[in-house]
Structure 1
Amino acid sequence: MELHQGETAYETALAAVFNGDAAAAHPASIAQPRDEQEVAAFVRQACAQKRPLRVRSGGHSRFCSGDGALMLDLAAHLRGVTVSGDLVTVQGGCGVGAVLRALEPHDRMVPVGTHATPGFGLLTMGGIGHLSRSFGLTLDCVVAMRGVRANGDRFEIRAEEADGSEVWRLLRGAAPFLAVITETTLRTYPRRPLHGIRQLNALPFLVDALNCAESLPRQIACSFVLGVPPDQEQAQLMRYVVLQEGDESMLPAFLNEGQECWHDHVAGQEWLPDFNLPDRNGVLPPEPPVEPDRFRRLRSWIYTVSVPSGLSHELAPRLEDAMRKAPNRLCRIDLQHIGGAVADRPMASSLYRGRHAQWSIVISGFWSAGDALNQQAACRWADAVFDALESLACHVYLVERHPGTIRYQRELELAYGSDLPRLRQMKKQWDPDGLLPSLDPPS
C-alpha cells in the first residue's frame, strides 16, 4: 500500500511517528509493505525515481521521514515476533518493548535500551540499556539479519556463515546507511527479576557519584539523568541503579546514604520505571497525551558521545556548567552506564566502536514547535555541550546525527574511526544512488 499527501491515511501514518521532526515532515509518499518482497519493490521504485528513502521502525529517529522522500513505514504491518528456543526473530517494524513482552511467557529476554518504544532500526547501531554491563549491547545478541539493499537486492546473512565477513561486521553498527533491515534474529537470555533504585541529589554530587559508579561490579549499572524534575525549578541529578534480584550483596554502602532512595522490584526490564526525572517524592508524573497535531510536537537536537572511565574530575564540571546554561527546563543530559560485558567483545566484532567507554552521554536539546528563539537556543546549547565533551570522547553513538553541519565529519570520525573509508566504499556498492542517509560531510 502506498499513501499520498491529501489522504487521511497519509496523515494518520505521520501522526503515529514518535519523533516530532519526522512527524512534521512532508514525504512524497508513504509505503506500508506487508512482506519483504513488497519492501524490495518499493526500494526499486525509489531507485527508479531517484527519491530519498527513509525507513520508519519505532519512529524515534529524525531520519525515519523526510521532505520529498519515499517513507517506508515498516511499523504498519511488519511487527511479527517469533520465539524458538533461545532465539527470537523480529520483523523490522517491531518495537523493543513488544519483543520483551513476547519473550516474557518464555522466561527469556534480550538486553535493550532504557526506553521501550524505539524500533529495531536503532538496535542495528548498538542498543544501550540498564543490562548492557551484564549482557552486552542488543547488537551483540544478533545472530542473523535479512533485508534489502538500497539498490533493491535482497540479502540474508547469518553469524555462523559469516566468519570474518566484512559485510556482517559493517551491517552491525551501520545498517541504516546501507540497507533496509526487514528481519533480525537474536539470541536471548534467561529472564530474572530486577531491582531498581532511584535517588535525587544536587548537581554538585555528580563527581562523587561518577567515581562511585565506576567502582561498581559489572552486575550493577548506575546511570544518571541531569535535568529539572517536574515539580522543581532547578536542575537535579537522578541516580538510577539496576541489578538482578539476588545480587544485592554487591551493593556498596554509599547507595543507602544521603537522600531518600526509591526501590522498585520488577519482573523484567519492561516493568522498570521510565528513565525520566520523578517528582521529589519519587513518583513519575503521568505521561502527557500525545499531541494530535503532528506539526505541534516537541522538537529535538540530540548528540550521543561515549567517554571512558577515569575522567570524572574533568567530565563532571563540564556537565554541571552545561546544565546551568540550559536554555529551558526541557533540556537534559543522560549518562548511560556501560563497560562490563560491552567491553568483552573484540572491537573488530562489529562497527560499534564505543566498547572502551564507561559512559554513553545523551545531550538533548528540546523546544516547542514554532518557537524559533528557543529552537536556536536549544540547538546552540546542545552544540556547545558536544564541543565541550569532544576532547574527552572516545566515540560518538550515531543514533542521531547532524548531516549538513560543520560537526558531522567529526561525528563520523568518532563513530567509525579507521573503518570510515571502508564503510563509505561499501555504501557506494550497496546504495549507489545515495538514497539512504548520507555518510558525507557538507561540501
Structure 2
Amino acid sequence: MKNNNNLLEVPNINSKDAKLKKLIYDVNDSLFSQDNYSKEHLEYLCVCSGGTTSSCAKNGFSTLDLRKNHSKINLDRESNLVTIGGGVIMGDLVNYLQKHNRSFPIGLSKLPGAGYILTGGVSPLSRAYGLAIDNIESIKGFLGNGTFISLKKNQINLEEQLIWEAIKGAAPFFSIITEIELKTIQSNPIKVVEGFVNLKELSEIIKLSEEFPENMSLQWIYAQKIYLYIFVELKSNLEDKRTEEYLMLLDKFPSLEKHFHENFNEINFFPKGLNLYELNSNNHSEVISLLGEDLKNDIPIFIECLNEIMDNKPNNSCYVASQQLGCKTKKLNHGSSFFVHRKSTWKPWIYASWKKDDLQEKEFALEWMYKSWSKLKRFYPNIHLAQLHNHLNFHEEEITLAFGNRMNELKTLKNIFDPQGILPPL
C-alpha cells in the first residue's frame, strides 16, 4: 500500500495524476468490506489491469493494481492454451507467445491489460479469429460480494451461464478477474499496406474494404492528416487469389506502401510523426468508442460528416479513428456474450484531449467529443464500452447503447453479486 501522496504509474495521464486514497495489490476478504467504500461520496474500488483507462484511478478512491501479483503467463504446449493473470499487459502476452510461434488478437496498442480482453477486444485479426472474448476458455476471480469463481467454457451449469456470458463484455461492473485462459493462434507473416491519404481516397478504400476477405482489415486515423493501415495476414507464402486481387486494387493509390512483417508482434501501428501514442504528460484525455454496420451507400455522407467534425476540433490533439470488424465477429458466439452488437462492421472512436490544468479547454474538448458522437450516431448507433465513463454526464446513455437488450440482466447481476456497490456503478 502506498501513501496518499504517491501516484499510480500508468500510461493514462488522467489516472497517473490522480491522488489515491490507497493502492492495493492483494485480493482478499478485507477488499470486499463495505466499510472500505462510502456510498455517500459515490466511492467504489477502481481496478487497474494495464492502466490505459481514465477509470483505473480517481482522486480519493482506492485502486486495486493487478499488475504486481497477477502478471504470470503460461502456455500449455499440448493444447496451445495460454493462462494469463488479470494484470498481464497485451504487449507482454504477444512477446511471450512469439517465442513459441503463437499469437493472440490484441489491439492496435500493446499497452492495455486484461481489461482489453474482458470488454470485448477488437483486433486487426478479429475478422479471422473473432473478438478477444471469443477466445476465452476459462476464468478465475471474485464477484463483487467476495465470492470466488472458477468457470470453464465447457463445464458451465445453468446457474453459472449468465455470469459466464456477462463476464465476456461486462466483467468490470460485478467482478474482479485474476486469471484468464485463452486460445492462441499460429503466428503468421503479415503484409501491411499503409500511408497518408486524402478524404477521396479514404472514401474509396472504405468502400473496397467492406468486401475484404477475413484475413484483411482496415484501420484509419484522422488527426491533422489521414493515415491508414490495411492489414493482411498471410497464412501461406503465397496469398490466396482473392487477397491478391485486393492488393492489386490498392496499387492505384500512389501514397500507399507495402511492408512485410514476420509476425503481428513486429508491427507498431500509427507513425510517431502523428504524435498520438507518445504520451504527453501535459495532456488529459477521454475516448468514446462506437459501433455500426457497413456504410455502403452512406460513405460519401459519412466522409462529409467526418470532415465537418475535424474542421471543428478544439485542438490538434483531438482525432477520430476507426477499426474494422466483421466476418468471424459477426458469426462467433452469437448471443453468448454481453458484446451484443454482433452485426457491427466498424468500431470508430473519438479521442478528446486538452491541457490538464485548462478547465476551459477541457470543457471545449468534451463538448466537441459529445457533438461529434451525436453527428456520427446515424452511421454508428451503438457503443463499444472499452472505457468506463461514469464520471461523465453521458454515462447512462453510453451504458444503455453498449448493452442493449441485456441491460436488465446486467443490472440483476450487479444487484446480486455487487450489492454494496464496491465495483464501478451502472
- Shared fold, TM over 0.5: yes
Q: Which residue of 2 aligns with 1:5?
A: 4
Q: Could you tell me which of 349, 364, 372 is aligned with 1:377? A: 364
Paired residues of 1:52 and 1:69 also in contact (CA < 8 A): yes
* CA shift digits 1:140-179 (9 cap, x unpaired): 1001111111112211111011266111101111001111
Q: Pick one of 89, 95, 99 that aligns with 1:105.
A: 99
2:15 aligned with 1:22, yes or no?
yes
Q: Indicate the SS of the match to 2:196.
A: strand
Compared with structure 1, are the counterparts of its residues 117 and 42 closer, same or farther at alpha carbon in structure 2 (3 Å cutoff)?
farther
Cα distance in 1, alignment partners of residues 119 and 59 from structure 2: 24
Contact 1:177–1:436 (CA under 8 A) maintained in structure 2? yes
2:263 aligned residue: 268
Specify the alignment match of 2:143 in structure 1.
149
**Relative to 1, partners in 2 of residues 1:408 and 1:106: Cα closer, same or farther, differing over 3 Å?**
same
Count of aligned residue pairs for this structure pair: 410
Distance 1:286 1:322 in 2: 18
Q: Distance in 1 between matches of 2:35 and 2:145?
A: 7
**Match for residue 220 of structure 1 among 207, 216, 219:** 216
Q: TM-score, normalised by structure 2?
A: 0.91
Kept in 1: contact 2:55–2:389 (CA 8 A): no
Match of 1:126 in 2: 120
Q: Among residues 22, 26, 32, which one is paired with 1:44 in the alignment? A: 32
Query: Does structure 2 retain, via aligned residues, the 8 Å contact 1:125–1:175?
Result: yes
Q: Structure 1 residues 134, 81: CA separation in 2 closer, same or farther (over 3 Å shift)?
A: same
Choose the corresponding residue for 2:25, options 32, 36, 44. Answer: 32
- What's the counterpart of residue 79 of structure 1? 71
1:233-382 equivalences in 2 (<5 Å): 236-245=225-234, 246-247=238-239, 249=241, 250-251=243-244, 252=246, 253-274=248-269, 276-277=270-271, 279=273, 288=278, 296-309=281-294, 310=296, 311-382=298-369
Give the corresponding residue for 2:155.
161
Unmatched 5+ stretches in structure 1: 34-38, 229-235
Partner residue in 2 for 1:70: 62
Separation (CA, whole Å) in 1 of partners of 2:96 and 2:391: 40
Q: 1:46 to 1:95 in 2, by over 3 A?
A: farther
User: 1:393 deviation in Å?
Assistant: 2.3
Cα deviation per residue 1:276-326 (whole Å; 9 max; x = unaligned)? Answer: 2554xxxx77975x66xxxx5421121110110023233222112111111
Deviation of residue 410 (structure 1)? 2.2
CA distance in 2 between partners of 1:197 and 1:163 (Å): 46
Letter paired with 2:31: V
Name the CA distance, whole Å, in 1 between partners of 2:407 and 2:37.
28
**What's the CA shift for 1:82?**
0.6
Residue pair 2:321, 2:348 contacting (<8 A) in 1 also: yes
Following superposition, the deviation at residue 81 of structure 1 comes to 0.3
- Shift in Å, 1:194: 0.9
In the alignment, residue 364 of structure 1 is paired with which amino acid? Answer: Y
Q: Which runs of 4+ in 1 moved over 6 A?
A: 284-287
* Percentage of identical aligned residues: 22
Instruction: In structure 2, give the amino acid aligned to 1:40.
Output: N
Task: State the distance in 2 between where 1:219 and 1:93 align.
Answer: 30
Do the aligned partners of residues 254 and 374 (structure 1) sit closer, same or farther apart at CA in structure 2, a change above 3 Å counting?
Answer: farther
Q: TM-score, normalised by structure 1?
A: 0.88
Write the distance in 2 (CA, Å) between the matches of 1:248 and 1:299: 45
For the residue of structure 1 that corresponds to 2:2, the secondary structure is: strand
Q: Deviations over 1:222-254 (max 9, x none)?
A: 1111111xxxxxxx2212011123337414233
SS at match of 2:380: coil
1:205 corresponding residue in structure 2? 201
- Cα distance in 1 between the residues matched to 2:35 and 2:348: 37
**CA distance in structure 2 between the partners assigned to 1:174 and 1:382 by the alignment:** 24
The Cα shift of 1:259 comes to: 2.8
SS in 1 for 2:315: coil
